[in-house]
A and B are shown apart, each in its own frame.
Chain A
Amino acid sequence: KAGVTQTPRYLIKTRGQQVTLSCSPISGHRSVSWYQQTPGQGLQFLFEYFSETQRNKGNFPGRFSGRQFSNSRSEMNVSTLELGDSALYLCASSLVPGVANEQFFGPGTRLTVL
């Protein structure tokens, strides 16, 4: 069974632009969670989607948004990029909702904001 895939793997943007990252969960998994990983702030939970609905959201500004499609694929969008948005963005999928359950992580998308 294929693992969690994230595209693109690397991305370079400039301040003020917007970006969309994609995550395809493991087949059959309906829950997708997103995380931001930076050297300064460490790992932080962004949001979780299940059945096309956002179940929970971490403490991030409204510039960070996401959505989930009927095939469980998820996208996250960051608008008006800031230098501080440079990070590794990880997504994880699980069979059932809730991050207490075992999550399977993708390789991440490395976003650099110049």
Chain B
Amino acid sequence: AQTVTQSQPEMSVQEAETVTLSCTYDTSESDYYLFWYKQPPSRQMILVIRQEAYKQQNATENRFSVNFQKAAKSFSLKISDSQLGDAAMYFCAYLWGGGSNYKLTFGKGTLLTVNP
């Protein structure tokens, strides 16, 4: 069964510094998607970044980038120049399959605090 592990329940970072959130997953599949979602306090969850497993290049979105290590089954999120608005719960997710036959699994989340 596919599992997603976020080993850091809580993390903190100083404003303007860089922080890395870790995520590992267990799968025997070779083609899948990985996601990072952000859930700010009392606000809607949003997609931060998406990575397709067949792509070797790490995805980036502005200050957010991932370090995708397929062999190690690791998918960490790096947030550069952290801002107060980055404070949120971050969820890593794994998606396997397509069409109407897929399985989506989330990690337990990492609560990120940004200190001014």
Contact = CB atoms under 8 A, between A and B. Distances in A.
A98 B102 contact: yes
A18 interface: no
Given A43-B91, A100-B33, A56 B101 contact: yes
Contact of B44 (A43, A97, A98, A107): A107
A107 B46 CA distance: 11
Q: Which 5 A-B pairs have the closest CB atoms?
A: A43-B106, A55-B100, A105-B45, A45-B104, A42-B108
Interface of B: 33, 43-47, 50, 91, 93, 95, 98-102, 104-109
B109 A42 contact: yes
A105 B89 CA distance: 15
Given A43-B106, A45-B104, A56-B100, A105 B46 contact: yes
Interface string A28-54: 000000000000001111000000000
A107 to B, nearest CB: 6
B47 A103 contact: yes
B45 A90 contact: yes
A45 B91 CA distance: 13
Contacts of B106: 42-45
Contacts of A100: 33, 50, 95, 98, 102
Contacts of B104: 45, 58, 99
Interface string A2-13: 011000000000
A25 interface: no
A102 B93 CA distance: 13
